Structures are given as structure tokens and as C-alpha cells.
Structure 1
Amino acid sequence: MNQYDFQGKSAVVTGGAQGIGYAVAARLIAGGATVSLWDADATALANAVSQLGAAAKAEVVDITSPERVRHAADALGTIDILVNSAGIAGANAPLADYPQAEWQRVVDINLTGTFNVNQAIVRGMIARGYGRIVNIASIAGKEGNPNASAYSASKAGVIALTKSLGKETAQLDIAVNAITPAAARTKIFDQMSQQHIDYMLSKIPRARFVEVDEIAAMVAWLVSAENSFTTGAVFDLSGGRATY
């Protein structure tokens, strides 16, 4: 495993109690970072912190609340690294039948939540002239998955938001990038129908789902000081599915 130097760095990982976020947090801690895990699940947070050790802190944060996000960010002070992994899959249904309330819930968490977290944390990065941000999007944001219009649209929004912020901060030592993984076998699968899971697998040329440690490996470089030029970019982890 490649090792990146995160000694003295402070990180926030949203959705950090499990899945992709947890794997990223573990990788950052292995490099010497202190990591604040933001998640809505207090029980999962407590379990994660007990496993990750003293370098991990837990904070119950509803990322759909700008006030709660700002309070959590202000309480930490300096934040060098942000990995925004919090998100939900939402219901699987054709757009013609998609419930309005479910659409709003998915967009509120996946897209507006990403905006809230990026806005609250990038302000400090701009003031200090340094920062690394990775927003977890999805291959669905590039290609659009059938029966997942809300999820696909929200992740497409995350890609565009990342590109915009990357351009806005490009004159500083701030890198803002997104990744577009294929599905990983995490608890998010509990929100999906088996038919939709089978569809996603059928689209991956590598014929398997991505592992969370593979995602964490790419994120680790993107949030390292070595990534001093690339910003506003989208990095693919679709196992060959992506066409652009």
C-alpha cells in the first residue's frame, strides 16, 4: 500500500461511519491525519471511532442543515482535507412514477448536502490558502441509471459543483476534485432493488463491484500535498464502464 504523509493534517470525512467514508478515514489515519467523522448515524459513528482509535473523532451532523454544518466546521477550526462521502441511493422507480418527496430527499442529501459541506469548509481553506477536497459522485452521474433518476441527477450535480469550485479556487493551493466510482457493495445496497443491483453489475466490464479500499487509494492521492496541480477534475473508478 502506498503511504502518503498526512502528519499534522486535519480532515473531515462525511458519511465516515461506514462504507467508503470509513475506508477513506482509515487510510488518512494510517498516514498520520486526525479525522473527524461526520455522520447521521450515532451508533455507527461510535463503532467506527472505537475501531479507528484516538485519531478519529465522531460528530453527528445532518448535512442538509447549513447551520449544523457550519457549527461543526467552526468547532474544528483548521480543516485541511474534506472528503464528502455522505449520500443515499433513494428509491428505484421510473421517473414517471418517482415520488416527489423521495426526489427531494435524495437531492437534499446528495447535492444540497454537498454544497453545504463544501461551502462551510472551503471558506477556511481559502483564508489559509491551502486545502484538498474530494466529492464522491458516481458513474450514474455521468451516464444516468434507469430507475434512479434522483440519484443520477444529484450525482451529476455534484460533478458540476466540483468543477465550479475547482475553478474558483484554482489560484490557491486548493485542489477540488470528484470521483465517479461504480457501485461498491456497502450498506447502500440495502436501499436498492436486486434488479437494480444486477443491472449495475452487468454494466461493469471488470465484472465485479469496486472495493472500498480501491476507492480510498485514489482518494488518498487526491487529498495529498502531492496533488498540487489537478483541480476541478473527475476521476473514474467505474471498472471500464465510463465512456468519457
Structure 2
Amino acid sequence: MIERNLLATIFTCQAAAEGMMQRRNGRIVTISSTAAFIGRPNSAIYATAKAAAVHYTRCLATQLRPFCINVNSIAPGETRTARFLATREVDENRLMDGGTLDRVALIDEVSRVTEVFVGPLGDFVSGQVIRVDGGAQCWPA
């Protein structure tokens, strides 16, 4: 769990940053999870790895700032991926394509936030984490 969700992030960022540092320019976006911000009794190691990935992103943003490299993270909540659908039982009402925030996110909704970080809107944004969960962590469970 730690290898797949934390170390893979670290090693990938290190590999990508090398060329960016030489060019003195670049954007890195890590993918975390909303699990990083709440206690998860049945997946404590996963949540801990994702929390560490968030903190690593912030540290890396500070480290790479002198090289003009922006480093940010996206923390999706439940997202309608093939793996999610294969491993979870989800109420059909939560699989709608829109119209409510009480549903599972579409992949495009997560990727559009990535576009903000890598596009011109992200020119002066670094060290940030955006939750993409329809405000689920703002409401009581």
C-alpha cells in the first residue's frame, strides 16, 4: 500500500523533476485522495499513504520553487473509475451524471481540475491541494 500510493508518487516526481529543473520550468500534479483528510478505520494504511503524498507534494513545491516548477495535488473523492465500480457496491442514484453533488464523480470532473493546475490559470499556484468530492467532506456522514 505504501509502495503503490506513496513511494510511486515520490519516485515519479523525482524522475519528472530532473528535466524540469534543468529547463527551470514545469508543472507536477500528484493525485491523492480525500482519504488523506479523514480517519479511515478500514483503510488506515491507504489513508496514511495518501496523507503523506499530500505533505510530500507541499514539500516538493517548496523545494522546486526556485526552479519555477509548480507542484500541486488533486484529492478526489469517490470517482467512477473501472476499479471503483468493480470493488464497491454503490447506490444507482449516486451514479448519475450530474444534477446533484451527492453522487460519484465523473473522471472528467477530476481531470478538469488537473487542467487548471497545468494551464494558464495555474501559473501562480503551487503547493495546493484541491479536493474534488462535491463537498462531501463538508457535510456530516
Say if 2:112 is the partner of 1:209: no
Conserved 8 A contact 1:141-1:153 = yes
SS of 1:207's equivalent in the other structure is coil
- Between 1 and 2, higher relative CO (CA 8 Å, sep ≥ 6) is seen in 2
CA distance in 2, matches of 1:237, 1:112: 23
Change (3 A) 1:188 1:150: farther
- Is the alpha carbon distance of 1:191 and 1:147 closer, same or farther for their aligned partners in structure 2, counting shifts above 3 Å? farther
Which residue, 68, 90, 104 being the options, matches 1:173? 68
CA distance in 2, matches of 1:120, 1:187: 28
Q: TM-score, normalised by structure 1?
A: 0.50
Shift of 1:149: 1.3
| Contiguous gaps of at least 5 residues in structure 1 | 1-105
Give the TM-score taking structure 2 as reference length.
0.83
Retained in 2: the 8 A contact 1:132–1:224? no
1:170: how far off? 1.5
Which has a greater percent of helix? 2
May I ask how many residue pairs the two structures share in their alignment?
131
Structure 2: unaligned runs, 5 residues or longer: 95-99
Aligned to 2:127: 232
Q: Displacement, 1:191? A: 6.2
How far off is 1:117 after superposition?
Answer: 0.3
Identity %: 31
Max Rg structure: 1
Task: Indicate conservation of the 8 Å contact 2:102/2:136, yes or no.
Answer: no
Coordinate RMSD, CA, aligned: 1.9
